Amino acid sequence: MTDHVVLLPLDGSELAEGALPLARAVARALGFGIRLVSVVDTGPAWPHARATAEHDRLLEAEQEKAKHYLHQQAARLETSGQPAGVLLAQGEPIEQLLAAAEDADVALVVIATHGRGGLQRWYLGSVADKLMRLAPRPVLLLTPEPSADRTAAAPLRRIAVPLDGSELAEAALPVAARLAQATGAALLLIRAQPFVLTATEPYAYVPDLAEIQAEIDQADQAYLQEVRTRLQSIPEVETVLLRGAAPLALLDYFKTEPADLVVMTTHSRGGVKRLVLGSTADRIVRSGVPTLLLRPDLQPGAAISFETAGAERPA
């Protein structure tokens, strides 16, 4: 067990709690604790914003309710052997969650992409969207099944890493490899490549598209095999070559061959305050596939190394 934690926002809803199984699985695999955080929203939506005795009484009651809820959830985790702590904040939810994510011992944030709870009056859909763009830590987003079991850790059997040949995409490999090592999950290296298309003038030379496509396929397979050789410490590594535009090809693949977790990198622009998700990452997140988004310009947490032997890109 390390001194690092997975930050898990909860708003009192069952859907928000649906992130618990995957948070537990990742925390257990990495040897992290879990910190449950709730925010008592005292922003513009607070119906009794005027500082009165009644306002103070209602606010105190809301805080006590939230505190009881958090400690109840933490006790369940502790009973199952998962170290857990709680954090209760007050203010505007996204501001407080971003501040909580900045704590040096926070390694990553896990959050459900939808959820509305009576406890707080804030929407995890909107909050999750802002967290994945602004959080100073990696963010794992998922859309839980309503009937999912909240009491056990989610199984991690297949971890997918989409690759496009760039160093940016390959920056996800060390994290995915460490998770695969810790859980025994199969690591899927997936490359999606559009079909060869060309436009020609009448009577112009038409190249042999089938031959060109075969050469591209061969080069892509060689690339995937080369990456695979760097991951010899992982018991099971599979390579998957898809044809078609990356977002659609990946989503179609995950419909028939579900992944328990997708690990991928995103682009950032303008520092921490602005994150522009690549279209592929954005589509996968919004499809509901559990996705861990990494930003190479950010540290995954103070003094945390996600490096694993054999996962480095060769010089």
Q: Give per-residue pLDDT as tens, 47-93.
A: 555 556 776 788 888 899 999 999 999 999 999 999 999 999 998 88
Contact indicator for 293, 266 with CB cutoff of 8 Å: yes
**What is the 3-state composition of the chain as percent helix, strand, coil, each rounded to the nearest 5?**
40, 20, 40
Domain with CATH 3.40.50.620 in the chain: 5-142, 158-294
CATH of domain 158-294: 3.40.50.620
For 4-44, the pLDDT digits (tens) are 999 999 988 888 899 999 999 999 999 999 999 999 887 65
For 231-258, the pLDDT digits (tens) are 988 989 999 999 888 889 999 999 999 9
What span, in angstroms and rounded, lies between the C-alpha atoms of 179 and 26?
Answer: 7
Provide, rounded to the nearest whole percent, the portion of the chain with pLDDT above 90. Answer: 46
Query: Which has the higher per-residue pLDDT, 130 or 206?
Result: 130
Angle at 27 between CA 164 and CA 80, to 5 degrees: 145
Helix, strand, or coil (residue 294):
strand
Q: Which of 99-108, 109-118, 271-280, 303-312 has the lowest mean pLDDT?
A: 303-312
Instruction: For residues 219-228, give the mean pLDDT.
Output: 95
Under the banding of pLDDT at 50, 70 and 90, the label for residue 270 is very low
What is the distance, to the nearest Å, from the Cα of residue 207 to the centroid of all Cα atoms in its chain?
43
Contact indicator for 13, 95 with CB cutoff of 8 Å: no
Provide the 8-state DSSP code for 258.
-
Superfamily per CATH, domain 5-142 = HUPs (3.40.50.620)
Give residue 66's identity as a one-letter amino acid code: A
For residue 117, the model assigns a pLDDT of: 44
